[in-house]
A = this chain, B = another copy of it.
Amino acid sequence: VKTERQNGRVYLIGAGPGDPELLTLKAVRALGEADVVLIDDLVDRRVLEYAPRARVVPVGKRGGCRSTPQQFIERLMVRLARRGHVVARVKGGDPFVFGRGGEEALVLAAAGIECRVIPGITSGVGVPAALGIPVTHRDLARGVTFVTAHTRDGNGPDWAALARTGTTLVIYMGMQRIGEIAAALGAAGMSATPAAVIERGTTENERSVIGNVANMAGLAAAAGLGSPALIVIGEVVRLARTVESAPPQRLSA
């Protein structure tokens, strides 16, 4: 009698914003079970030490650069899982916050493949924290909103509505449109609102500028900041660098 082929499965794993120590224990366990790891470009390769048994397939998707098409990645996951492999799909941040994990989960569900999501620290929380910025604060922000600068339909978000919410605004993948964003938020009365632009937050290569909505694009350009970067807008940005006893560092770029 032949043994039944073990069913494969896919872990969609969030590796956090950059610092490999921000991996969760659950992610470490899943990596240890993995036969194959599909790892995004921006994820620190040191996380692979937790996947000693696995074959590693880089599946970069850098904005604007040569990249692995999303459909190819999805087909590869399905094929590997159907062969009985345990697949760890490792993404930066959280798989369900601008990570296309939702799309991948739907593809896997449609193919009848077991998929388990392991959340990660999303950049919008972890990156501001590294500068001492709490994205919410009782006296300064009613909440926090995460958006991307451009959406599938080609339109940006409704910046005027976002301004009216009184929440801290955290913009992912916004560097290519930082000028437009500043103009739209300025028109909504936020020119003087504090703003931070943070490149490669939580990593050894973190660089940042702190100013306001009106001057953030100029400061970021002068410092040569590029993608991947996060833009944080709100009164909470005033609290930057108060967390550590180290002296304030307003322009670390």
A residues with a Cβ closer than 8 A to B are 16, 19-26, 28-29, 94-98, 100-103, 105-106, 108-109, 112-117, 119-122, 125-126, 128-130, 132-140, 142-148, 151-152, 157-158, 161-162, 164-167, 236, 239, 242-245
Contact = CB atoms under 8 A, between A and B. Distances in A.
A21 B29 contact: yes
Contacts of A97: 125, 134-136, 144
B94 A125 contact: yes
A16 B92 CA distance: 18
Given A136-B96, A143-B145, A245 B125 contact: no
7 contacts: A21-B24, A22-B24, A24-B121, A97-B136, A119-B126, A143-B148, A162-B165
Given A144-B145, A146-B136, A21 B26 contact: yes
A116 B20 CA distance: 17
B165 A245 contact: no
B135 A100 contact: no
A242 B105 contact: yes
Nearest to A170: B143
A104 B111 CA distance: 48
Nearest to A119: B126
A67 B143 CA distance: 24
Contacts of A121: 24, 94, 119-121
Contacts of A243: 105, 108-109, 115-117
A167 B145 contact: yes
A105 B134 contact: yes
